[in-house]
Structure 1
Amino acid sequence: MKFLILFFIIFISGCGKEEEKPAPPPPEVKVFTVETKDIPVSNEWIGQTFGAEDIDIRARVNGYIDGIYFTEGTEVGKGTLLYTIDAKELQQEVLEAKGKLSEAQTLLIHAETEVNRFKPLAEAGAVSVQRYESALANYDAHKGNVEAALARLNLAEINLGYSRVEAPISGIIGITQFKIGDYVTKTPGSLLNTISNVDPIKARFSISEKEYLSFRKDAIQEISTTGRRSLNTKVEMILSDGTVYPFEGKVNIANRQVDPSTGTLMLEASFPNPDKLLRPGQYSKIRSVTKILTSALVIPSRAIGELQGQFQVFVVDSENKTSLRTIKKGQQFGQFTVIESGLNAGERIIAEGIQKIKSDMIIAPQNFEFPSDTNKSENK
């Protein structure tokens, strides 16, 4: 009987004990060590591209276009024949001018003969001096007529040459504004086409007075090969699809005055364009570093939380325990933010998933790699 009672007590006490479960491991959390960096601060402006040379091709004589000798949108070389304008009337004007010149030259020869004939007679007293002087004046008049006729011939030949429209520069030619059979005029000169030299290509953009002063302060002043002062400030271009143009540009011209209506100054940058990717008239963003924030405290932007207008981060101590701390943040640059106060270099913070973190939690810290594209930062 005693044995049964002892067994029952042991059985009851055994059933009353719960099986103890092991504590869950601390969560793995990405942790970033606050560090200092020199942050290049970039600004962006809207720019438009222009050819290094944009030359309008205009008619310089009246007439009908009777020939077009290029493919629109392709490269043409300097001196390439582009258009011909019906030259029949111009050729007749040349022939007429030649006839007038020949007539004037004949009369001049006759007048010269008269001078040579009367000169010795006047010296001998056989004819009056007045007769000789009259012959001499007649010679001078015909000489002037010859010069005028020669000038008219030269002008007629020049106009005849204008019936052949050639490329004044090498570049890309646009879409023709006139077709074969269209009538063009020299006054005003009918715009036939435009040729653009696009390598290098220019981009013009406007900046504020304050930004311009920053350019001037940091830029290296130099006299370029063209004799103009160059700002020598490097810029890059962001195309309309968001990609960065592979060639770096340089600001080399600033306009002579600030636009009083906008308070901005126009700058011009030059970009290499060997593949002819850029064409005149394109809009893009021009980006340039305007200042450097030296030894700035930076953390990932995603590490910052906001509560009732205050910005906070979770700090991780030496025992991997979290605590919430209020900070004062500065400018944001893409994936990271500058911290003005509340943190020190070397402290660790939660970099990701702060919504799941509470104060006084024990965590298993995992290294968070800072974004690698911090060299090009846009001010926000």
Structure 2
Amino acid sequence: MPLVTSFVDRQDRRPHWSSPSIGAALTLSLTALISGCDRHPPAPHAAMPPAEVGVVVAQTASVGLQTELPGRIEPYRSANIAARVAGVLQKRLFVEGTEVRAGQQLYQIDPEPFKAAYDNAAAALLKAEATLAQAQDVLKRYTPLAAEGAVSQQALVTAQLNVQQGLADVASARANVQTARLNLGYASVSSPIAGRVSQTQVTEGALVGQGQVTPLTTVQQIDPVYVNFTQSADDVLRLQRSLAQGQLKRVPGSQAASVRILLSDGTEYPLPGKLFFSGVTVDASSGQITLRAEVPNPHRVLLPGLYARVRLEQAEASEAILLPQQAVTRTQNGNTVMVVDADGQVSTRAVQVSGTSAGQWVVLGGLKPGEQVMVDGFQKVRGKAPVKPVPWKGATPSAHAPESKPAAPAASPAAKS
């Protein structure tokens, strides 16, 4: 009996939702809420504006085609100084690394043995000349006596042969004197050219030229200097083909075309050089053609053996289009750019690129003047969605920063409700 009473009591304490007054109030509240929402519908999402991309307008101009090729600096002239006679090196008469004149003495080899040899040769010459004079005197006396029969013909012939022998002995003695004079002169080692002398290879007191040539030092003329570089034979063939087709014209005086030198640190050497030599054969192992330019070097900035890049202008395009390098995509299948039309649609276009000029690609075909070529904002292109072209202002610090996504439109107060 108590269990039944407890259950009934709990049933009596539950809310009476079926009461008419409470149901009416709930109905009115829901009606007002629905009516309020109907009066303030959620605002639709605004359409995203077209993404802005940087473009340049294609314009034709007369452009010189430049090619950068690797090269090495070489001395204009170089002389390897060596001992030409055997002897003891007595003195070094120059300061290493300085400029020397042509004919300036650099070393002194002990000259005493060569002076003695010269004196001996000179004495032998005097003896030969005396012997010749005696033979000539005998022949002079025998000639009339032989005509009178006072001297036999055999004695006359002998006198004539003695004179011939004396002439030969004198000639040989004179040659020995000349040799001795040369050896004495070779004891003073001088520079055959003007230039900068390098470090010495021997020390004072060393025995040089004994049975073999002994290198002493090197003198190099480095004003001007040569720049030796190579160009691909394929590039040369393409250049010749473009010239033949009329797409390019040869630079006036191209046999002495101006070249610029880019040093290993990226700076440009201020003085221009000139191209004056082009190889006539192709290296079978590398497929390269050897070229050489002459560059003035008054301040001795360019040193032999220095690596450099040569910027060479070989031809000129009369109606070329210059594009920033980031605007062109270069692949093994060809070169392409992205063009934006008047409706903001982006399309890929194949172009013909031929060299560079002032750090920009030179385009010879595939574009028309006035077309807009995309330079940056490639990551903003989404399928066929239009874009908004704006003039490209060049690279900026934020050009490579990650692109921020546009914020979602804020919900209206009514929607929040």
Q: Secondary structure at the match of 2:72?
A: strand
Give the Cα separation in 2 of the matches to 1:176 and 1:327. Answer: 63
Do residues 181 (structure 1) and 235 (structure 2) align?
no
The Cα shift of 1:38 comes to: 4.3
Aligned residue for 1:232? 256
Give the Cα separation in 1 of the matches to 2:51 and 2:230. Answer: 52
Give the Cα separation in 1 of the matches to 2:361 and 2:182. Answer: 67
Do residues 96 (structure 1) and 112 (structure 2) align?
no
Give the Cα separation in 1 of the matches to 2:75 and 2:149. Answer: 75
The Cα shift of 1:170 comes to: 0.8
Question: CA RMSD, aligned part only?
Answer: 3.9
Q: 1:85 to 1:95 in 2, by over 3 A?
A: same
Give the Cα separation in 2 of the matches to 1:215 and 1:232. Answer: 17
The Cα shift of 1:258 comes to: 3.0
Q: Secondary structure at the match of 1:78?
A: coil
Give the Cα separation in 2 of the matches to 1:29 and 1:211. Answer: 34
Aligned residue for 1:125? 149
Do residues 167 (structure 1) and 185 (structure 2) align?
no
Do residues 325 (structure 1) and 347 (structure 2) align?
yes
Give the Cα separation in 1 of the matches to 2:304 and 2:209. Answer: 27
Q: 1:39 to 1:173 in 2, by over 3 A?
A: same
TM-score, reference length from structure 1: 0.75
Q: 1:168 to 1:340 in 2, by over 3 A?
A: closer
Question: What are the ranges of 5 or more consecutive residues in structure 1 without an aligned counterpart?
Answer: 1-8, 223-229, 372-380
Aligned residue for 2:340? 315
Give the Cα separation in 2 of the matches to 1:64 and 1:257. Answer: 47
Q: Which amino acid counterpart does residue 234 of structure 1 have in structure 2?
A: S
Q: 1:203 to 1:367 in 2, by over 3 A?
A: same
Aligned residue for 2:301? 277
The Cα shift of 1:27 comes to: 8.5
Identical pairs, percent? 31
Q: Secondary structure at the match of 1:238?
A: strand
Give the Cα separation in 1 of the matches to 2:240 and 2:172. Answer: 58
Do residues 48 (structure 1) and 72 (structure 2) align?
yes
Give the Cα separation in 1 of the matches to 2:392 and 2:312. Answer: 29
Give the Cα separation in 2 of the matches to 1:352 and 1:82. Answer: 63
Q: Secondary structure at the match of 1:145?
A: helix
TM-score, reference length from structure 2: 0.69
**1:258-269 pair list within 5 angstroms:** 258-269=282-293
- Report which of the two has the higher share of helix: 2
Give the Cα separation in 1 of the matches to 2:391 and 2:235. Answer: 39
The Cα shift of 1:210 comes to: 4.2
Do residues 63 (structure 1) and 59 (structure 2) align?
no
Aligned residue for 1:198? 222
Aligned residue for 2:109? 85
Deviates more, 1:247-256 or 1:288-297: 288-297
Number of positions where the alignment pairs a residue of Structure 1 with one of Structure 2:
345
Q: CA contact under 8 A between 1:219 and 1:232: conserved in structure 2?
A: no
Q: Which amino acid counterpart does residue 219 of structure 2 have in structure 1?
A: I
Q: CA contact under 8 A between 1:201 and 1:270: conserved in structure 2?
A: yes
Q: Secondary structure at the match of 1:231?
A: helix
Q: CA contact under 8 A between 1:215 and 1:233: conserved in structure 2?
A: no
Aligned residue for 1:139? 163
Q: Which amino acid counterpart does residue 169 of structure 2 have in structure 1?
A: N
Q: Secondary structure at the match of 1:242?
A: coil
Q: Which amino acid counterpart does residue 156 of structure 1 have in structure 2?
A: A
Out of 370, 384, 405, the residue aligned to residue 346 of structure 1 is: 370
- Cα deviation, 1:214-247, whole Å, max 9, x if unaligned, reads 479666798xxxxxxx922332222111222222
The Cα shift of 1:160 comes to: 0.3
Q: CA contact under 8 A between 1:36 and 1:295: conserved in structure 2?
A: yes
Q: Secondary structure at the match of 2:181?
A: helix
Which structure has the larger Rg over C-alpha atoms?
2
- Cα deviation, 1:95-142, whole Å, max 9, x if unaligned, reads 111221122122222222222222232222222122122112112211
Give the Cα separation in 1 of the matches to 2:183 and 2:211. Answer: 14
Q: 1:185 to 1:215 in 2, by over 3 A?
A: farther
